[in-house]
Amino acid sequence: MHSFTSGSPTNNLKKNTVMSIPPDSSNTQSFRQDIFDFLKYLAEPMAWERKIDMSTFFLCVSDHQFHPKKPRISTENLTDEEKEVIRTHLLPFSSNIMNCQAIEAYHIPKDALSGMVVYRLEILPVFCKLFNEHDWIPLIRHLSKWESRLKSYILSEDGRRNAKESRRSAHLLVEAAKVRHRWWDDGYNGDEDCIHNLTQEYTLTD
């Protein structure tokens, strides 16, 4: 049985952290800013315990990249401020992801899965260009495991029963996601993508 807890764990935050509460992702006009705010927030010490906030980060990634009126994050349109955030916070953020064995994304599984795939394939490669030498394969493997678990949940009885209870209300974002990610379709059977092969593929190419 999958479960999740609402709210943001803050009891274990150390003093002098960058933020004490997660960014507000309710403003649909600031998805891009939310991505970088969450990156800073989730780079803090003990952030690996903030499982539900990590799922919200991937939700913001999905919403921004599929927004029809927002330019996708790319090497060409990164601001100097965004580059500084990446250089300062991406490595500890990635370390916290590696220390987190699972995220509480079962309340928004399709959103989170779309966000993870987009982050791994589109955004992380852009961010990586700001670092000369770093082995990103372990992180990518870890993300692929999360993707496989979420895919399994979406296909499970619980996942199908809760599918209509998704947070999604932005019709244009849903339609844009459906075009690229088949797990948004009610008839998705799990054999229409290669998520289940990701970990093996990254191992073979290592």
Structure-model confidence comparison of residues 32 and 107, the more confident one: 32
The full DSSP string for 32-56 is HHHHHHHHHHTTSTTGGG-HHHHHH
Phi, psi of 129 (to 5 degrees): -65, -15
Q: Is the pLDDT of residue 5 over 50?
A: no
Tens-digit pLDDT profile for residues 51-100: 778 888 998 898 888 887 888 899 999 999 999 999 999 999 999 999 88
pLDDT at residue number 30: 80
Query: What integer pLDDT is reported at residue 190 of this predicted model?
Result: 66
Q: What is the pLDDT of residue 137?
A: 94
Record the pTM. 0.74
pLDDT in tens, 12-23: 333 333 444 566
Phi-psi region of 46 (alpha: psi -120 to 50; beta: other; left: phi over 0): left
